[in-house]
Structures are given as C-alpha cells and as structure tokens.
Structure 1
C-alpha cells in the first residue's frame, strides 16, 4: 500500500529544509528527500539578511544561528589588492558612504541581524532541528519520477541502499536546485539574461589567523596578473574560498598547481595550503516562467537562478518557503480554498525576478561583482527600502487604497502586501515575532470590538500598545491589521473592508469565489 503524506519536498538545501520547518510550525508533517547523503562540502551562500534571520526567529533557531555566525561577526572589511597580504580597504565612493549610512539603520528596522554564516554551517542546524522536531528527512533518497492528478502527486523514490518505493503526497515542493529535474519534467521554461560567466571556487585550508587579525575581511577583491577574483572568509581562521573565472582549463590542473596559484594570490610564498574542494559553477539569471504547475511548486534555485550577490539566491529561497508554507497549511487544514495557492506565483514570481535581475547588473565573476559593490555601481537608491519595503502588487491581501509603498526610502506603513513594521515590545519580543502559526489579528489597545470579531472568526488576537509602532503602522488605538505567518500584512482596518470579507478574500474561500463580479 502506497504511503500518503501531505507534502513531499524534493531537495534538502536551504529552500527545502526551511519549507519543512515552516510547514511543521503550521502543523503539517512533510517528508523531505534528497539524493545526497550529506551536506555539500562547499561553503556556498554566506550572507543571510535580517529578513531571513527573522524567519529563523520564528522557527526558534535565532540563538543557534547567532552562535554559528559568531566566528565571522567581526569580519566586515571589504578589501582590494594584488594579493591578500597587500590588500587594503578601498576608499569608499560617495555612493558607498551613502549606502553605509542607510545600512546603519538596519538594527532599527528588524530584530534579526545581518549574519555571515556559510550555508555548509547553516544547513546542519536546520537539518538537526528537523530531526529533533520529528520530521522525516530521508537523505540519500532520490526522487526518480512523479505523476500528478486531481487527487495528488505519486512519486517514485529510490534510496541509495534500498529498493524503490512509491509515496503519494497532496503536494510536491521542488527545491531541487538550479538544474531542477522536477522543473525539467514539467517542461517549465525560464526567462532572464541566461548565462553570464563561468566561475571556479577553490575551497582551501590555510592558517591565515595572523593575517585575518590585522584585517578581518568578509571579501577581498584580487587583481593579479596570475589570477583575478575574490577571497571569501569561511571561518576566519583556516577555511577560505577563492573564486575566479580565469581558468577554463581547470580540469587539466592538479592540486599542486592550485597550491602554487593560491600562494601567489595570497602573497605568502611559503604558506602551507591544502585544497579541500574545487567547484565549477555558472553565474546566470534564469527565472522559471511558472512557479506552480498543478500540485507542484518550485522554490529556491529551482524557481530562480541568479548571481550570488549578497547570497541573493539563498535569501530569496527562504522568502519563497515562508510564502508557500502557510498557504499549503491553510489549504490542507481546510481553512482556505486551493485558489489561495495561485497567489504563490502571483507574489513570488515578480519578487524573484526583480531580485535576480538586480543581482545580474554585474555579469562577470565574483571579483567583478565585488568591484561594482565597493564602487557603488548599479546599487539601489536605498537598500533598506529594497530589503524591508518591498510590496506585492497582487496576491493574498486586501489593498487599502493607499497605493504602493515608496521605493526610494523605507516607509511601507503596514500597507497590505508589505512586511509588518518592527518595534520592540519588550527586551526580547518584536512585533515581527507576533506572526503565526496561522493568521493573527493585531490590534491597538482599544480593542473591544476586535476581541469579539476575533472570537467570532476564530482568529488569534494580539494587542499592541506601543504608540510608536501604532503610528508607523498608521493604526489608531482602535485599529487592527491582519498579519500573515510570513510577516506580510494581509489587511488593514483603514481599508474599510469588513474583517470577515477580508478573510474571505485573503483565503480564497469558496464563498469568495462564488461571489458575482
């Protein structure tokens, strides 16, 4: 007899693991499979934005992520030079000075820090949390094939050390990477700039503790006749990455050649170096034309491939997971109509495309990306508006008539379709922490009417008396807003739409679908 589960997730990277944990938070027990038996030896993404660490807060993993990122907490310098030993901080441009001033506001806008935590360190944290919470994570198990119909998705799974077996799920999340076999099987095409550059990452061991103590760098651009590229800190002591696009003949070179090259660009001729891994990768922009096909959803790199500026791909993957998980949970629980799931593509496709296109402004290798960053070329006017003020144009929310949020500065003001503003309610609790599981009604202190409404509609209610936050959210003391589990405002009492009608529109219930246009 074929086992049936609510959600099958193919892919055990950032997108898949975050999806699994968020589904569990919403009361759903998914099954996750990954053909690889263990984590990738490559560091991969390293920079996780406050929007991502806000999700880790909701998952109860903020302390573990903070501890894991502590070794690189002081590694903030961006250097440039012919070698790492000779590198110095680039004189900041006027654009970069302005950008740093804008970024200084980040702690005011979010309870989540901006952390350096290599993906190879973060993924084990997520995997361990999944295991401790009783989730089924089946490593070394490949999704061989699948078929879907109106009743579900039937998948053929093949463990590395066992016989194939079938599993049926209500829904399938394809978090299976840039070359997604699921996306290919569905025949979903991609749009975007396509191929941008071929790159090679050299992951190596070398004791650079003394050098790093003098200049604790996050990134170091190298312009050397032997090799151009960039160094990236992995643990700040003896694990490092050098990324370059200068060696199309990489397959013909042995470890000794790479050791010699690394010593040259490091600027330390007699350094003991050990090559831990070599990985070729393509810098490209390819965004899937559809993020949903029936009961199958694309997330992370399966949905959008982009250059790794500030780990844009990994951070966008976490946002995908947050957006999709609560919607699947609501439909599976019978609280929402399946039409709610259409809003995943409606919301996340434009967002993913915009991030991928912005990351593709610099089309070369990592060193060229870093050069553009330090010079301030092609950067948004206010990165805080981009990070915290993005507004969905359409989806699972009720517009309130205020029009779009500003794009040149941060001022979303709790508009529906934007992230809820942050304020500390006490020493440890942010308004961001009020989200989920399920929809939450957040009210001002004069909430007698809303208490009755929340009870009638089965909503969890939270009261906020913080006057500064009420002002920023454009809420009177008798106002209210509907907060989605992904931190997005779904409705604002200023809209004039009754809360019951707003719930019907947000959840796409049968009653809403039956209403005449």
Structure 2
C-alpha cells in the first residue's frame, strides 16, 4: 500500500455531477482529483435535458457554444413538448399543457440569457471532462474508494485499483461524494435516505429503428404511449433511427433488475417497441436494456465533517420535470465557491455549514415537485380522467429560478426581485454598444452592483474589501457606470433604487442589498461581506 500526496479536494464519482464539481472547482483555481470506479466515461445517453438555470451556470463556465454544437443537441434543437398517443403511428390523445408546465421551446428571454439544451448525458459528460481537465482537474479512472476516515486536518481515502487490486491512500482537505444513488460513502457515513421508494418501476429499452415516416414533422421531447400492449414513454434520440422506450412495469412483473432483464429478452422488447410505435412488422435492433426505479428520497444531511454529498448521493427524484441531474449540477456550483473561499483563506470554515442549510431544503422541495408531476402526467392517458391538479404544484419557471436560500420561510419565490438568498435576476444591459446580461457579471469574485447614483458605494467597496482581505468587483449600472440600462429596469428588478447597491455572491445569489447609501456605507458593506464569507 502506498500513500499519495495530499490534494485540496477529492471528488468521488466521475459522472455528471462529479465532473461538474471538478469543473467548478478547477475554474476557481482549486486543485482536485476525481476518482471513478469505471474504466472511463459511461457511454449510455441516459438523461438529456439541461434546464435553463443549469445552462446559465455552464454558460458562465464558457461551455454553451460547445454544448449546443454536440451531435445530439443539433439533432434535438427543435424538439419541444410532451405528446400523448395510443402509439406513434396511431391516434394522438393530445399534447400535455398545464399552467405549471413550460415547454422547451418557450421564450425565456425576459428571464434568462439562455434556454434549454437537449443533449445526451454521455456527450455532456465528455464536454465537462475535457473542460475540467483543461482547467487543471486530475482524473483517475478504474479507482474505487474502499473506505474513508476523517480527522481534524483532513480526509484519508483508501482507494483500490480496479485493474490489479492494489490499494493506496489519498489525503485531502475535503471530499465530495458524487457516487450516485447507491452511494457507498453515504452509507459508510451512516447518513440515511428519507423519503419514498417504489414510485414506479421501468425498463429503458434503447433501440434502433426507422420511424422517420411515423414521426413525420413532429418534434417532441417525449410521447407517452397508452394501448393494450404497452404503457410507457417513447423518446426520440435523433428524430430518425435512434430511440428509447421506457416501459412501465406492473406489479406482476419480476422484482430485481436481474429478474427483469431475464423476463424481457430482446425478442420481447422488440414486440413492445412495435406496440409503442404502432408498426407491427417494424425492423428493430435492441441496443441495450436498463431496469430502473423511480424514488423520492433526500439524505438526512448533506455534510458529515469534511465530506459533502452532491447529486444522487444527496437526493433522488422521479424524472418528471428533468430536475434530478440539474439539481446535482446546482449542488456542485453552490458547494464549489464555498470550498474555494475557505481553501483560499477568504472565508471561515463555518461557511461550509451553509451548504447543507441551503441545498437540502431546496432538494426536498424539488423532489416533491418531481413527485407531483409524476402523479399528474399518466392520468392524461386515462379515459375520463378528472383534470384536478395535485395541490402544491409550482410552475417550472419558479423551480428553475425561484428557490430561496433562507433559514426559514417558503422555499419557492415566484417573483424574487433581488431578494437576498435568491438567484440574481437577469437584466439586459449594454456595454460599449454590445448587449449583455447581468448574469455575465457573476461567477468569479463577489460583485457589488451600484445604480446610476452610486454615491459612496465604490469607495466603500474598496475599503471594505481591503479590510477583510477579500476580492470584490464593482459594476455601475446606468448613469456614468460602465453598463447602460436601456430599459431602466435594473433597480426595480433588483428591488432597490438608483442610489442603492446589491451584493452578489460568487455563485450568482444575492447576498445583501441596500436601497440607499447610509453615512457609514463602508462599515455596513464590511459587515455584509463578512456575513457572506461566514466571518
């Protein structure tokens, strides 16, 4: 057994959320090592919806153009909406339209500088891996964490090489567990999942078949199919020959994944695909089958000493709404700036306590929204189903943009208007005649935004940052500031005035705001900065 040099952050799990964690840390200058038990990146397409908030984060990381150029993103760029039908070639029952549901093609320009990107998870992970490596993250595939211990100075992970079985020890200041819903690290830490399993069992059948004629000019995200032979969801992967069928398994179907695979050999899957497509003699090539189960669970805590849970290790939810993987990306983003600030000596270690306090309530509320959507959608395929929505449903836009980091009160805020603890709003600005979003100002150092009457705020910012020994950027909006506010909406959007100021955290969350400048502006801002860094 060998002991390796110490790293600041060890990330366990090299899938979507682990890769996102590595990217956000590396771009903040934090060296990190990613351990993944598989020999390489996973090739299965899996999920494919990057929602607008996650796209904002990946856009800030400089990846939007690369993501939209991916083969799957180009193929699915025009896809939108949920359909319901007896089969792809058969009777359509209609489109899924509810107040809470916002289609992928919706115009979000008033809310965000970006929008959905439909791309396969394996292609997205390739982009994240390359970008994180360029930024300095290191990767070790074929490495499984066998055990993990902590002390006052760091974490020691015992790592086994999958190829030859040798073990080594790795030391890190902190460890991020991104090892999935069956997280071995979470179990070893004694952190239980709380919630509900058994919300539905499914078999994902990825197949190749020419359904271009049956699809026609339709470009949907998913088509729920309901007939006497199959109930499930037909998902186009390229709008031509690559597809996935998620078959709903019933109570009489086998229980364990192995039993399900044995009961659904390729020839049976072919018949299910033919039933869902409505083409009896369709030539079908089954590529793979993956059983999966919908669950709604949240870890009792997201932190245990120097170990932090992110993504499916912290929460699992049904896929309705495409919230799961996106919540994981946002976990990673929320945690990365805190770890970076603590490791740089800018923040107190107490800042890391806020990761659990901020993300766990939002995760629990998001899981609830996914469950409500899963309960609502299948009833559309039932004759005579009453259209009474489950109480508590929150519209998609609020789930994407309206979470509230607070010690108490509601998690969702439908119209945040710059409320501290919420995502800083998108406002369209001009700089040197070029359009940009306020969101483009965030993602690096903390930012102080001042209005067209900045008064003492720029000087106060310099003094407060110098006293604390932390970086702080100042951007003037309107007036003589560097950024023009052509619509004159910035102050209203941020809940302040032309003489006010707004402090935004490195992750784009409003930390504090003032409607005007007091006589002791530097002291007031100094106190706000200190609170933001947990000092």
The question of a shared fold, defined as TM-score above 0.5 by the shorter chain, is answered with yes
Q: Under a length normalisation based on structure 1, what TM-score does the superposition of the two structures give?
A: 0.90
Superposition pairs for residues 282-431 of structure 1, below 5 Å? Answer: 282-361=293-372, 368=378, 377-378=389-390, 380-394=393-407, 407=413, 410-426=414-430, 427=434, 429-431=436-438
- 1:228 equivalent to 2:231? Answer yes
Once structures 1 and 2 are overlaid, which stretch shifts more, 141-150 or 348-357? Answer: 141-150
- 1:144 equivalent to 2:146? Answer yes
Once structures 1 and 2 are overlaid, which stretch shifts more, 110-119 or 173-182? Answer: 110-119
Q: Secondary structure at the match of 1:137?
A: strand
Q: Which residue of 1 aligns with 2:133?
A: 131
- Kept in 1: contact 2:82–2:223 (CA 8 A): yes
Deviation digits for residues 43-100 of structure 1 (CA, Å, limit 9, x no counterpart): 222222110000011110011112222211111142222211115261566xx26755
**CA distance 1:362–1:476, change in 2 (3 Å):** closer
Segments of structure 2 that go 5 or more residues without pairing to the other structure are 255-259, 466-470, 479-484
Once structures 1 and 2 are overlaid, which stretch shifts more, 2-11 or 208-217? Answer: 208-217
- Kept in 1: contact 2:366–2:399 (CA 8 A): no
- Kept in 1: contact 2:452–2:498 (CA 8 A): yes
**CA distance 1:101–1:66, change in 2 (3 Å):** closer
Superposition pairs for residues 131-280 of structure 1, below 5 Å? Answer: 131-162=133-164, 163-246=166-249, 247-248=253-254, 249-280=260-291
**CA distance 1:370–1:318, change in 2 (3 Å):** farther
**CA distance 1:406–1:329, change in 2 (3 Å):** closer
- Kept in 2: contact 1:5–1:170 (CA 8 A): yes
**CA distance 1:346–1:92, change in 2 (3 Å):** closer
Once structures 1 and 2 are overlaid, which stretch shifts more, 2-11 or 117-126? Answer: 117-126
**CA distance 1:376–1:165, change in 2 (3 Å):** farther
- 1:463 equivalent to 2:476? Answer yes
- 1:446 equivalent to 2:453? Answer yes
**CA distance 1:452–1:127, change in 2 (3 Å):** same
Q: Which residue of 2 aligns with 1:37?
A: 39
- Kept in 2: contact 1:443–1:479 (CA 8 A): yes
- Structure 1 position 111, deviation (Å): 1.0
Deviation digits for residues 344-375 of structure 1 (CA, Å, limit 9, x no counterpart): 000000000000112112567x9738869996
Once structures 1 and 2 are overlaid, which stretch shifts more, 114-123 or 167-176? Answer: 114-123
Q: Secondary structure at the match of 2:221?
A: strand
Q: Secondary structure at the match of 1:361?
A: helix
- Structure 1 position 376, deviation (Å): 8.0
Q: Which residue of 1 aligns with 2:482?
A: none
Q: CA RMSD in A?
A: 2.6
- 1:506 equivalent to 2:512? Answer no
**CA distance 1:20–1:235, change in 2 (3 Å):** same
- Kept in 1: contact 2:81–2:96 (CA 8 A): no
Deviation digits for residues 129-156 of structure 1 (CA, Å, limit 9, x no counterpart): 1222232022222112111111100112
In the alignment, the residues of structure 2 paired with residue 122 and residue 212 of structure 1 have an alpha-carbon distance, to the nearest angstrom, of 26
Q: Which residue of 2 aligns with 1:76?
A: 80
In the alignment, the residues of structure 1 paired with residue 21 and residue 324 of structure 2 have an alpha-carbon distance, to the nearest angstrom, of 15
Deviation digits for residues 99-131 of structure 1 (CA, Å, limit 9, x no counterpart): 559994522101121221121221111112122
In the alignment, the residues of structure 2 paired with residue 75 and residue 188 of structure 1 have an alpha-carbon distance, to the nearest angstrom, of 40
Q: Which residue of 2 aligns with 1:513?
A: none
**CA distance 1:13–1:375, change in 2 (3 Å):** farther
- Kept in 1: contact 2:80–2:103 (CA 8 A): no
Segments of structure 1 that go 5 or more residues without pairing to the other structure are 396-402, 510-517
Q: Secondary structure at the match of 2:436?
A: coil
Once structures 1 and 2 are overlaid, which stretch shifts more, 457-466 or 121-130? Answer: 457-466
Deviation digits for residues 408-464 of structure 1 (CA, Å, limit 9, x no counterpart): xx4211010011110122455211111131311122233352222222214121222
- 1:85 equivalent to 2:89? Answer yes
- Kept in 1: contact 2:10–2:175 (CA 8 A): yes
1:472 to 462, 485, 493: 493
Q: Secondary structure at the match of 1:339?
A: helix
In the alignment, the residues of structure 1 paired with residue 339 and residue 302 of structure 2 have an alpha-carbon distance, to the nearest angstrom, of 14
Once structures 1 and 2 are overlaid, which stretch shifts more, 148-157 or 42-51? Answer: 42-51
In the alignment, the residues of structure 2 paired with residue 468 and residue 423 of structure 1 have an alpha-carbon distance, to the nearest angstrom, of 7
In the alignment, the residues of structure 1 paired with residue 113 and residue 388 of structure 2 have an alpha-carbon distance, to the nearest angstrom, of 27
Deviation digits for residues 356-400 of structure 1 (CA, Å, limit 9, x no counterpart): 112112567x973886999683373543233222212229xxxxx
Higher helix share: 1
The structure with higher relative contact order (CA 8 Å, sep 6+) is 1
- Kept in 2: contact 1:222–1:265 (CA 8 A): yes
- Kept in 1: contact 2:365–2:411 (CA 8 A): no
Q: Secondary structure at the match of 1:146?
A: strand
Q: Which residue of 1 aligns with 2:481?
A: none
Once structures 1 and 2 are overlaid, which stretch shifts more, 372-381 or 142-151? Answer: 372-381
Superposition pairs for residues 478-497 of structure 1, below 5 Å? Answer: 478-494=499-515
In the alignment, the residues of structure 2 paired with residue 191 and residue 419 of structure 1 have an alpha-carbon distance, to the nearest angstrom, of 27
